[in-house]
Amino acid sequence: MARVAVVTGGTRGIGKAIALALNKAGYRVVANYAGNEEKAKTFEKDTGIPARKWDVADFGACMDACGQIAKEFGPVEVLVNNAGITRDATMRKMARESWDAVVDTNLGGCFNMCKAVWEGMLDRGFGRIVNIGSINGQAGQYGQVNYAAAKSGIHGFTKALAQEGAAKGITVNAIAPGYIDTDMVAAVPPNVLEKIVARIPVGRLGKADEIARGVAFLVADDAGFITGSTMSINGGQHMY
Ligand code: CAA
């Protein structure tokens, strides 16, 4: 039977590309979304991949959703923690709410979702988790203390959980995307983005498919010796 894969934030941007790639690779994919109902419905209609709404920052909602998915499709054996938001502002202007929202969603969501599937993965002796970090969690970024802290946290979280899963058939890896051509990056002021792209050796923004390719590689059954690693996919912008 096809393995069930959950992709959070899976109906748009990088998450959508991941959901499509895993679907193509033969997984039974369920895509999570939090807000954009209209895009999620279009996604379901266009791809045939079921989309389910819950907020990854809400621990109870993650537990309930994974329980429901297990009943409907089977136990979650592949988890891609992709859901993320930005609330960019310099420290002077950043509201406490912007800190909480980004840390609770990007890092808290990663904990909540892993917690919801972890026992089952341990019981079955198999699991694949990929957490989407960021170049900005590795290198920092002006105007992103919240996002950089959360994404940096994801990289630490990945290495810690990988140690707990290693002898149990569960791999936990991270991908650190650079600047990818998505709505999130399109929201960066054009004059700022222009300077960022000028610093990318490959000379362009990345494509969502180029991240999805890495995820498909890491979740494969025969990738069991790769754990605790961070795959940087950033056009050479930060060689780490
Ligand atoms: N380094 C140094 N100085 C910088 C800077 C940088 N990277 N970016 C901005 N500044 C300076 C500006 O030059 C300006 O200086 P002056 O006042 O002396 O002219 C000052 O900071 C204020 O800049 P802004 O006018 O832009 O200030 P703002 O308050 O309107 O906006 C900001 C600040 C929100 C940080 C805005 O610059 C911004 O959105 N920057 C982009 C941040 C970014 O890269 N976010 C990534 C989003 S995509 C993502 O996160 C995905 C991923 O994983 C890669």
Residue of 62, 69, 63, 87 lying closest to 29 (CA atoms) = 69
Q: Say if ligand 1 is within 6 A of residue 103 CB.
A: no
Query: Are the C-beta atoms of residues 75 and 19 closer than 8 Å to each other?
Result: no
- To the question of pTM greater than 0.95 for the whole model, the response is yes
> Distance between alpha carbon 9 and the CA centroid of its chain, in Å?
7
Residue of 161, 195, 187 lying closest to 84 (CA atoms) = 187
Query: Over the chain, what is the mean pLDDT?
Result: 98
The whole-angstrom separation of Cα 120 and Cα 76 is 8
At residue 6, the pLDDT reads 99
Atom from ligand 1 closest to the CA of residue 184: 48
Q: Which of 82, 90, 230 best tests ligand 1's pocket when mutated (most atoms within 8 Å of CB)?
A: 90
Residue of 124, 121, 31 lying closest to 81 (CA atoms) = 31
**Full strand arrangement of the beta sheet holding 127-132:** 51-53, 28-33, 4-7, 76-81, 127-132, 170-177, 230-233
pLDDT digits (tens, 9 = 90+) for 133-189: 999 999 999 999 999 999 999 999 999 999 999 999 999 999 999 999 999 999 999
Quick check: is 240 catalytic?
no
pLDDT digits (tens, 9 = 90+) for 106-121: 999 999 999 999 999 9
Q: Going by CA atoms, what residue is nearest to atom 30 of ligand 1?
A: 89
At residue 1, the pLDDT reads 86
Report the b/e string of 31-40 with b at 16+ CB within 10 A. Answer: bbbbeeeebb
Q: Say if ligand 1 is within 6 A of residue 192 CB.
A: yes
CATH of segment(s) 4-233? 3.40.50.720
In terms of C-beta density within 10 A (0-12 exposed, 13-18 middle, 19 or more buried), how is residue 129 classed? Answer: buried
Ligand 1 centroid vs 99 CA: distance in angstroms?
16
In terms of C-beta density within 10 A (0-12 exposed, 13-18 middle, 19 or more buried), how is residue 59 classed? Answer: middle
Which residues are CB-contacts of 233 (< 8 A; sequence separation ≥ 6)? 175, 176, 177, 178, 206, 210, 211, 214
CA dihedral 212, 215, 217, 219 (to 10 degrees): -140
At residue 36, the pLDDT reads 85
pLDDT digits (tens, 9 = 90+) for 7-20: 999 999 999 999 99
Crossing angle of helices 37-47 and 13-24, in 10° steps, is: 20
